[in-house]
Amino acid sequence: MGRFVAPTDDQVRPLFSAVLGALTWDGGSPTELQLNLLQSLLNAFSQGDPQVVREFSPSSTETAQTELKDPHLVKQLAHLVTLLELTVHPLQPGLEKHAEQYLTALGSEPESLAILRDTAGQHMVKLHADLMRNSWYTEQTIKGMFAGRFRELLRSKLAYYSIGTDDALAAKWTALRNCPEGTWGHGVAQFYDVHGFAFPGEAEGIYEIGALHDWVHVLADYDTEPEGEIDVFAFIAATMEDGRGFIQFVFTLALFQNATVSTVGGKHVMIARADTLSDPGAVDHLAEAFWRASRCTADVMGGVDHFALANTPLEELRQRWSIPPKSSHSPGALDQPSRGFDTGAN
């Protein structure tokens, strides 16, 4: 996605009208869920008088070309359209084709277009390959191997499949239990203990690069239920400088919204399900995750040294990076789970 910047008041109507234009085609118009999510986003980002998205008229490509001069707005349009296309299943090929033509007419060809084509065509093997090819985790793994960490990363990955362990890596992570109470590191250790997760390096422990997102679970206070995973990866995508972060969010939607993916790292995800965003309050929580991310001043996934900050109090970091507290009462990262899952292995 690249860092998400909220649209200004004068940009809201042109942007949202263009989204409606991309989703309005000969075979249909936006679904109730899509409209509800758009309204929640509108409510989260509008600073002026309340607006009703259902009162907006879908923009033609010609109108959108005239009104969306800023390339950054066009990029935001592409990401919003991708998000909304992935709320429906099955994704109709006619809608996907219309939305793609709409976006390309505005000069936007994001990596997610291939993923949407795979989804609409039900090319599941190719979909998974495209998700992995464009993944930030994949890129970081390749960088790590070129930096001389091949054996370390391999041991971490094999431990995930219970093929041996990496005692040094496990010791590095379990030592977080010794961080002072209230610090980021101590919170991460609590997160693993509360949810019953194995630490990286332990048998069945999450791959270490994937484990980085668990620091964000704790920082932003999102749980590991399907809705919490969608929210934390929305927060990550919107705060990351690297646009590949958006693909991690798309992967999470594939797991918990449109049910096109049910495995992570070759393991079946027991809580994978469809239609999570149809749950009560879910679209409001997702919109708030984007809003909180738009206020955050740091790339909290790929732009900080997590272990170097392990002994820093959580509240100090939230204030330093201007992360607003959640206004909703959705479950937090350290709440006792009814189920648990960690998506970081994809």
Question: Per residue in 5-16, pLDDT tens?
Answer: 778 888 999 999
The two three-digit tokens of residue 293, written as one number: 């991310």
- DSSP annotation of 267 reads E
- Give pLDDT tens digits for 244-291: 889 999 999 999 999 898 887 777 888 899 999 999 999 999 999 999
Per DSSP, the three-state class of 273 is: coil
Classify the C-alpha dihedral 314-2-102-18 as positive or negative.
Answer: positive
Give the pLDDT score at 338. 61
Measured distance CA(88)–CA(91) in Å, rounded: 6
- pLDDT above 80 for 230: yes
Q: Comparing C-alpha atoms, which of 1, 2, 4, 38 is closest to residue 296?
A: 4
Q: Is the pLDDT of residue 343 over 60?
A: no
Distance separating alpha carbons of residues 92 and 24, to the nearest angstrom: 12
**Residue 345: pLDDT above 90?**
no
Residues contacting 111, CB < 8 A, separation 6+: 134, 243, 244, 247
Cβ–Cβ < 8 Å for 129, 174: no
150: enclosing H helix or E strand: helix 150-160
Mean pLDDT, range 149-169, rounded to an integer: 71
Picking from 262, 248, 231, 254, the residue whose alpha carbon sits closest to that of residue 333 is: 231
Per residue in 194-214, pLDDT (tens digit) is 999 999 999 888 888 889 999
